[in-house]
Structure 1
């Protein structure tokens, strides 16, 4: 067997500005930080032939010298997709509704968390490990959806694209449209909801509309429009102007039309679901429009989830537009 040799890896343009320690931890997740620190401190790892520190920021095109004990002759990045839970790559592919060289848009299903947390073993962020490329780059989340909310979820394939999209969402340049099936009819049929919102003082797991601005409360604004009705139920189009936690769910409950299947905010007593409608959250991220970081505009619409589609069919709802 050939002896391991020194390897040289060129810094990818997408990694420009990244700290060396972070770059190394990404490429060598199984090597303890203490060992990496010693390799850098003793000059065994060099950048463009010069000794560096862990906090050194890399520049595109630089050559990183990796000693034999780090690589065994390999490159700095994992050589191919990192295996996650069985079927993660296939499951992600089944969700794809748009893809280009910079962005993938998923149609997230009901019950799949976007990120990890207490009691969550499988989530989109973890599944994205299966999509690491040959340079070790993992696609990045740029916004969130609640676990039981379905629909449009934007994923950046490059760090620079993720940073640009984060600014787009932060600056409210992304226009998001949701569909919600609610119990009751809003009055008027369309309008604007603007409140202060913060943690519910009676239940820290929930959000609530608060009577006035406080240290914890933030302004939350939602535009809504009734698309169709059936009996006691309404199909609404919701457009969040702000992006507070549980905003749409709280706002619908606040104006007296809670979303069907909402385990936190649907509190209508002595009311049963019509036959054929599942007791699942009927909130769907239907459409997104945003400036594409590479130019032009991204417009993506996500078909409704199976349980939402079943409800629309049972109720005979036929929304126009959306």
Structure 2
């Protein structure tokens, strides 16, 4: 019987990361630099990517640039060596599917649950988009068409083709996508329809948390609010976004004295605690409707996501107690 060798097998040589240069084609023109790098450097923590941009290791046409720079056809992007994940390591992002409201070759529109971020970053290891990519490894492209706050549920647009992504971003900029939200607010809303026009300014708390406030030096913001149902101390309203500022609906409603129930940034702590004691532990804001032209075919789409069960249960409770 031959003796078994006690020598350890030679470890496979690991590929040493190299500087890469990528020339931007028409397919990727218009995409933000940071989003492009996240796609190119799969598995590299976003913090490493942003650090590489800030330090000048990432360059476009031999010059420094910023995260939000939009790539142009012919741009030459320098990508420095970055430690890639071990291909044999278990995936760190759990694959997940989400309720699909609409899907074709160009678009995927899901009904996002509350409590899940749309993407990783800022202390969040992963979000909806990373989980979708893990669940659909065969997909050539999956990119967010827009964003929802972590605690907001409802309709989220994901592009499956670069052509669709560019068109979606253009439509949002030009105001060709109508977004409607339902919210349960503190107070007895009386007006059937009301326009809220108040400029919004982003700022950071001492702890570095992002906040927004109404401020004359802020960006113009416009929300149309329609009354759906009254419960005395609370009201169900529909908010239509005419602009798309960060936390716009939340701040506009709080500014008018009708903060969203369960909002831990702009709402009442006491109201949130009262609802939590009854088992309603969420912010009551839901992206319920989208009206938009299809980004490729031009077909008029009317997309609807019903209220989540917990949202309906809270409404039923208020109806009985009112």
Q: 1:295 Cα shift?
A: 2.3
Q: 1:224 Cα shift?
A: 0.3
Contact (CA 8 Å) 1:208, 1:250: kept in 2 or not? yes
Equivalent residues in 2 for 1:1-322 (5 A)?
A: 16-18=26-28, 55=76, 85-86=93-94, 88=95, 91-92=96-97, 94-132=98-136, 134=138, 137-200=140-203, 205-210=210-215, 212=216, 214=217, 217-267=218-268, 273=274, 276=278, 278-293=280-295, 294-316=297-319
Separation in 2 of the partners of 1:236 and 1:150?
15
Q: 1:130 Cα shift?
A: 2.2
Q: Which segment drifts farther, 182-191 or 236-245?
A: 182-191
Q: 1:125 Cα shift?
A: 2.0
Separation in 2 of the partners of 1:221 and 1:23?
31
CA RMSD across the alignment: 3.2
TM-score (norm 2): 0.68
**Which residues of structure 2 form unaligned runs of 5+?**
1-24, 30-34, 44-73, 78-89
Separation in 2 of the partners of 1:26 and 1:169?
22
**What secondary structure does 1:279 align onto?**
coil
Q: 1:304 Cα shift?
A: 1.3
In structure 2, the residue matched to 1:66 is none
Deviations 1:162-192 (A, max 9, x none): 1111101111110011000011023434210
In structure 2, the residue matched to 1:77 is none
Q: Which segment drifts farther, 95-104 or 159-168?
A: 95-104
TM-score (norm 1): 0.68
Shift in alpha-carbon separation, 1:268–1:254, aligned structure 2, 3 A: farther
In structure 2, the residue matched to 1:12 is none
Q: Which segment drifts farther, 218-227 or 185-194?
A: 185-194
**What secondary structure does 1:130 align onto?**
helix
Contact (CA 8 Å) 2:202, 2:212: kept in 1 or not? yes
**Which residues of structure 1 form unaligned runs of 5+?**
1-14, 31-52, 57-81, 318-322
Contact (CA 8 Å) 1:276, 1:310: kept in 2 or not? no
Separation in 2 of the partners of 1:242 and 1:122?
27
Q: Between Structure 1 and Structure 2, how many residues are aligned? A: 246
Separation in 1 of the partners of 2:248 and 2:317?
28
Separation in 1 of the partners of 2:161 and 2:114?
27
Deviations 1:253-290 (A, max 9, x none): 11111100000001375886357451310000000010
Separation in 1 of the partners of 2:135 and 2:26?
21
Q: Which segment drifts farther, 185-194 or 98-107?
A: 185-194
